[in-house]
Amino acid sequence: METRILELSDMMSDKWGSDNKTENLHNRLKSFILQIDDADNDIREILLTLTEEFSYFSKANVNELLIHFNDQINNELQLKVDKTVFSKIEGVGASKSKMDSSNTMLEEFKICNEISGDFTHSLSALTKSALNRIDNIVIFDDIIGSGNTLIKFLTSHAEKIVTTGVKIYVFCLVILESALEQVNCFLERENINAEIKYYTIQPKAFKENYIFGGEANTKQQRFKDYKRFKKMHNILGYENSQALVAFYRNTPNNTLSAFWWLSDNWKGLFPRNNRRPDFMKKRTDKSSSAAYNLSKKETN
């Protein structure tokens, strides 16, 4: 077991790169796996196998991908600069964290690719006459887990998208296979001209003939029924997404919760972090007060 953990942590360090969530990976992975009792070695093996397939996106990875997305937009898709608007997911059906992640991707994309704010507009603020002068709208997101948020967002703007004939491109880092199928069915049914561009597509972790071959159902049942996982919400990820992914900002709840659950008797490999949205809220409410408060703290 020790040797396998060491080999896996070396392999994952090479794959994920180094940042504060992956430093000391060998010890972290060891503590993560050895939380499982000796008697349940098969659960340890399942977790190790899942870790091998896990994707982690550091800030450096995401920056590189945002530059790559821009290359795709300019070279592969050849979208005309003056006919393309960059936007984000917002409004109906979008949770605050979803709006936050989509907005962050958009803002970082603009900075990494030197794109002026003049090319950024919210889809809800764009009238039909404005959309008639635009060919493409490019939207960003980190993960499309179930596809429900994207579908609700596009549904709320469907009428003007269809009547103006504007094409929507959604760029995401990760999409789940089941979400892509659902979104594509929706687009076809509603006659919406949209295309999903992704860096990684993930099948459900326990999909038959994927990670666990023909034993996927047996492994899933054993994993789900394991006593230490019983108290975790969404052990198979939100809405049974069965994702294996974490980002430098946070781990989505689509990921199997054993990887992010944090309690007195369990520590996930990539615990979820709830600090950042608070800062974002405060930043919006009092955007100019940090410099003032710093000067006050220095004089006190």
| 214's tokens | 């023909």
Q: Which stretch binds another protein (CB under 8 A): 130-138, 195-203, 216-224, 292-300?
A: 292-300
Q: Site for another protein (CB under 8 A): which residue of 83, 96, 133, 282?
A: 282
Contact 205, 244 (CB under 8 A): yes
- With contact defined as beta carbons under 8 Å apart, do 110 and 64 qualify? no
Does 15 engage in binding with another protein (CB under 8 A)?
Answer: no
CB of 85 to another protein, least distance (A): 18
The site for another protein, by CB under 8 A, has a size of 37
Q: Does 290 bind another protein (CB under 8 A)?
A: yes
Mutual angle of helices 2-16 and 25-33, in 10-degree steps? 130
H-type helices in the chain, by residue range? Answer: 2-16, 25-33, 41-52, 59-71, 96-112, 128-132, 148-156, 158-164, 177-190, 216-225, 275-285, 289-299
Q: Taking CA 141 as the corner, what is the angle to CA 16 and CA 94, rounded to the nearest 5 degrees?
A: 130
**Segment lying near another protein (by CB under 8 A), choices 27-35, 70-78, 109-117, 229-237:** 109-117
Q: Is 298 in the site for another protein (CB under 8 A)?
A: yes
Residue choice 112, 180, 201, 216 for contact with another protein (CB under 8 A): 112
Interface with another protein, residue 135, by CB under 8 A = no
Q: Does 286 bind another protein (CB under 8 A)?
A: yes
Binding mask 21-40 for another protein (x = CB under 8 A): x-------------------
Q: Is 262 in the site for another protein (CB under 8 A)?
A: no
Tell whether residue 122 is a contact of another protein (CB under 8 A).
no
Q: DSSP characters for 169-209?
A: EEEEEEEEHHHHHHHHHHHHHHT--EEEEEEEEE--TT-TT
Do residues 1 and 8 lie in contact, with contact meaning Cβ atoms separated by under 8 Å?
no
| Interface residues toward another protein, by CB under 8 A | 19-21, 58-60, 63-64, 104, 107-108, 110-112, 114, 248-249, 273, 275-276, 278-279, 282-283, 286-298
